[in-house]
Amino acid sequence: MKVITQVAEQRKALEEAVSTALELASGKSDGAEVSVSKTTGIGVSTRYGEVENVEFNSDGALGITVYHQNRKGSASSTDLSPQAIARTVQAALDIASYTSADPYAGIADKDLLAFDAPDLDLFHPSEISPDEAIELAARAEQTALNTDKRITNTEGGSFNSHYGIKVFGNSHGMLQSYCSTRHSLSSCVIAEENGEMERDYAYTIGRAFDDLKSPEWVGEECARRTLARLAPRKLSTMKAPVIFAHEVATGLFGHLVGAIAGGAVYRKSTFLLDSLGKQILPEWLTIEEHPHLPKGLASTPFDSEGVRTERRDIIKDGILTQWLLTNYSARKLGLRSTGHAGGIHNWRIAGRGLSFEKLLKEMGTGLVVTELMGQGVSGVTGDYSRGASGFWVENGEIQYPVSEITIAGNLKDMWRNIVTIADDIETRSNIQCGSVLLPEMKIAGQ
């Protein structure tokens, strides 16, 4: 209850700070928007059961953007005293006087704003003590260490618990706020066999502490993943079917976010420039966005410009239905904001009734990718080339781990030719998706 009382007091103070800033800007600008974010929490880490780090943090800042005669100025401050807020507002006004006029600049249209923000069940504070946090991290780590004698070293266990307050207001009269929490537990260990070492990790994350998996699950999963990587082989250069395991499949669709972002579209710097209303994924595939998902890790009642978020089909039956637009990019394109200032909100991509094991059987022989490295993806051409590691599969059964390979293709072809998606949905990401089977990719090995 102590935390709840503190948060209520802080929330009220932050709302007053936003109101003060808007009041100061009201007579000197054509429009203004103010946001405050504050995060408070604890993070602990252990190594071999000993406390390595205990960190308490309380970070917050106020940011204001003003518009005057189509000129934009922004400033921020971590000091929320009335005097500091006044200086910050004046700094933003001063900056606006030096910037070039932009006819597309301005706050979001009033009818798009979230004047009634729904409660999304995001706030679940935990009054966990530092000693309890340390014990959780140590249990996860120790469970992994005790699993197998080949686990010879550890990078430790860690536990984090934070709560955040977000307040947004603008000169259209909007002033909304919400609170959220995030708790996580993780472990990372190193295994050794025949003089070669491999490392891996496991974690659990949630809005509520009670939604976390146990320290024992984290430790056992961490050990399983690490041991499975031992004695990796290299592959010959070839073309073969590829499965993106669910933990990396989310990234496969993450590239879609950048490709359909309004900024890339109006700059004409995306390979999907002429794809609106066209099929870019298989006909059976739909990507739904659920910004109001209760307890969702990417849920939010409004975006960073105050625009209300809404449930949408980003892809419907394989067809791209809309761009991801901020207020500015929408005006540049002659459209309206879709509430995506600050990112996407809980994309859901349904599986097709297959377990991961059945997905392996469907592939038969090929590569399962569990880790990707490097940034070799072009948003302009869609060309895709990244370092990878994972497992080689024959006759639907995993045979051995592989590493030091590169996989390559083009995102347009990769997306359009997706064979199927498993039901092993990754829920710890803003994109929720199962493992994805592609019919063929180039694999560069030895």
C-alpha of 8 from chain center: 27
Q: How far apart are CA 211 and CA 126, in angstroms?
A: 12
Q: How confident is the model at residue 437 (pLDDT cuts 50, 70, 90)?
A: very high
Q: What is residue 127's predicted lDDT score, i.e. its pLDDT?
A: 87
Q: What is residue 2's predicted lDDT score, i.e. its pLDDT?
A: 82
Q: How far apart are CA 438 and CA 244, in angstroms?
A: 8
Percent share of the chain, pLDDT over 90: 98
Q: Residue 226 pLDDT more than 70?
A: yes
- Condensed to tens digits (0 to 9), the pLDDT of residues 115-154 reads 999 999 999 999 899 999 999 999 999 999 999 999 999 9
187-212 average pLDDT score? 97
Residue 90: count of CB within 10 angstroms of its CB: 16
Regarding pTM above 0.85, the answer is: yes
Q: How far apart are CA 369 and CA 87, in angstroms?
A: 52
104-120 average pLDDT score? 97
227-256 average pLDDT score? 98
Q: Residue 410 pLDDT more than 80?
A: yes
Domain boundaries of the chain, sorted by first residue: 2-228, 238-251+350-444
316-323 average pLDDT score? 98
Q: How far apart are CA 388 and CA 383, in angstroms?
A: 16
Query: For the domain bounded by 2-228, which CATH number is listed?
Result: 3.30.2290.10
Task: Using DSSP bridges, classify how beta strands 420-421 and 436-444 pair: parallel, antiparallel or unpaired.
Answer: antiparallel
Residues 6+ away with beta carbon under 8 Å from 358: 422
Give the H/E segment covering residue 198: strand 196-206
Q: How far apart are CA 52 and CA 33, in angstroms?
A: 42
The SS3 of residue 20 is helix
Q: Residue 327 pLDDT more than 90?
A: yes
Q: Residue 1 pLDDT more than 80?
A: no
377-392 average pLDDT score? 98
73-86 average pLDDT score? 97
**What mean pLDDT, rounded, does the chain reach?**
97
Residue type, position 68, single letter: H
Note whether 186 and 43 are within 8 A (CB). no
